[in-house]
Chains A and B, each alone.
Chain A
């Protein structure tokens, strides 16, 4: 069986990649993908921990998948609404509101 540390290490790396992506990238769709990566890194951690910490971990993953799906629906709709105004999904273009 895969050792726990390896799985947790992988999930930490995925989480870090997701976080770094949100900070560095400027395309709204890519930002959204990076956020999904962060949620899935947490899912991986829950599943990897569940043999040690209890079956709850696997149940939680299903809740998170459902929440991520709802977020995707709303998020993509918002990105489309913004695209209609700006003809772009580059977040550097959005400075109507600042400070």
Chain B
């Protein structure tokens, strides 16, 4: 089927997954309210499972998008396989967040149906963000995602840390939205359109326009805030640390995936004509992020906070892929995003497993003996940490290899070298956790502590770990799909690199 967007009904088809998920989120909210009546009590488990079912239905609708094509690449909403791939990653991130939240919310006494509804609305925002080909849709999608997340971060309002994280996230998040919006206004004024496909042909003449360049710069700052690139990262450790851990997992994976997809669509594809201008700024940001975040992560005593800095460092690696601005880079980006989502959400799941009561134990010492007490989860955590570090035998290694290759292909040798050096720094703090887990005996009173991750959560962690390993041994078909997915954005060279089929 081909959509030409001549009639408004075409937009309903093009937005089908988002519409399904929005309606489903409202359904989840209603089911929860009707079940509870006017009693104040925890939500039933059915609400969580209903939300998961919504994600599955949305994934089916998303797969169906592959069967439709757009007549021209000018629509406000992109209908291409890049969007479908990003949507799948976002849906996986949301599903993992829901699976690890089962049980956890009860323990903290915040099991309310709104949690799941807001999580689904945030997911809708992320999906739209990956689809936006118009700067205004980009702004609306970003806000839909952010406003739902501000609430989710502060969801445990009795916990001062959660509220404080929410305040910092809210103030800096809306500050960055202001930059983004003013950037859009300036781009709109100079290009007379907010549609990226209308701006592309004008770029040669706009290259000299200070108004356009300032607008593009403000857009860059706004997006850099959202993907938490240094020095725009100041909200990240606080929001990640204060938020309930399933929300942290979603923020570190889904939000990053969606915002980086927007980065690729706006800068690597839309503003490719002014690559020389934005690549200078972004290269410095990438260098600062890779080294800065890894060095600060070394000093962290809390595992949750260390993982927050690790996710900032990974934003730097992903920026290297964006900076390649070619088909190799975009394919490497999609591949790495998938591995990153699995391993990061998995690592936060283990943080939940190793907590006691409503109290989250995040200190490094709390992991002493964890590997022997919980052999399965210990092994799984080791796989995630080694993959985050980029060790061979894990998907993270292959992902970094592809990013390096794409960076060399684009001639960014310094960035490739820096990526390797920064990864070496990161080995220290990832391996430190593994060492503590296996080499240091648990304190006597801790010996009988039971793990606090419910069955579905444990299953999700194990499947993610197996997937991370599988992406090392058989990366071919995922990379193949990723390569075909970027064909609508970049001209794909005849042969791709790597271990593809």
Contacts and interface: CB of A to CB of B under 8 A. Distances in A.
Interface of A: 8, 11, 15, 18-19, 22, 28, 31-32, 35, 38-39, 41-42, 45-46, 49, 52-54, 56-57, 60, 63-64, 67, 70-71, 74-75, 77-79, 81-82, 84-86, 91, 94, 96-99
A22 B171 CA distance: 9
Nearest to A48: B189
Given A42-B184, A42-B185, A53-B189, A71 B167 contact: no
Contacts of A53: 188-189, 191-193
Main secondary structure, interface of A, reads helix
A42 B171 CA distance: 18
A55 B155 CA distance: 40
Contact of B188 (A49, A67, A74, A79): A49
Given A15-B182, A63-B140, A75 B150 contact: yes
B191 to A, nearest CB: 8
A22 B175 contact: yes
A64 to B, nearest CB: 6
Contacts of B193: 53-54, 56
22 contacts: A11-B185, A28-B167, A31-B171, A35-B175, A38-B182, A39-B177, A53-B191, A67-B139, A67-B177, A74-B150, A75-B150, A75-B170, A75-B174, A78-B150, A78-B151, A79-B167, A82-B163, A85-B160, A85-B163, A97-B168, A97-B237, A99-B300
B241 interface: yes
A35 B175 CA distance: 6
A96 B143 contact: no
Contacts of A18: 178
Contacts of B167: 28, 78-79, 82, 91, 94
Interface of B: 136, 139-140, 143, 147, 150-151, 154, 157, 160-161, 163-168, 170-171, 174-175, 177-179, 181-182, 184-186, 188-189, 191-194, 237-238, 241-242, 296, 299-300, 305
Contacts of A82: 163-164, 166-167
B92 to A, nearest CB: 27
Contacts of A86: 160
Contacts of A54: 192-193
Contacts of B182: 15, 38, 41-42, 45
Nearest to A64: B181
Contacts of B305: 99
A77 B63 CA distance: 38
B169 to A, nearest CB: 9
Given A67-B140, A75-B174, A45 B163 contact: no
Contact of B296 (A32, A42, A99): A99
A71 B419 CA distance: 37
A87 B111 CA distance: 26
A8 B192 CA distance: 15
B238 A45 contact: no
Contact of A39 (B140, B170, B178): B178
Nearest to A72: B174
Given A32-B174, A67-B140, A78-B154, 8 more contacts: A11-B185, A35-B171, A41-B182, A53-B193, A63-B136, A71-B177, A94-B164, A97-B241
Contacts of B191: 53
Contact of B189 (A8, A64, A75): A8
Contact of B178 (A38, A60, A74, A91): A38
Given A32-B171, A35-B174, A39-B177, A60 B161 contact: no
A35 to B, nearest CB: 5
Contacts of B189: 8, 45, 49, 52-53
Contact of B242 (A8, A22, A45, A97): A97
A33 to B, nearest CB: 11
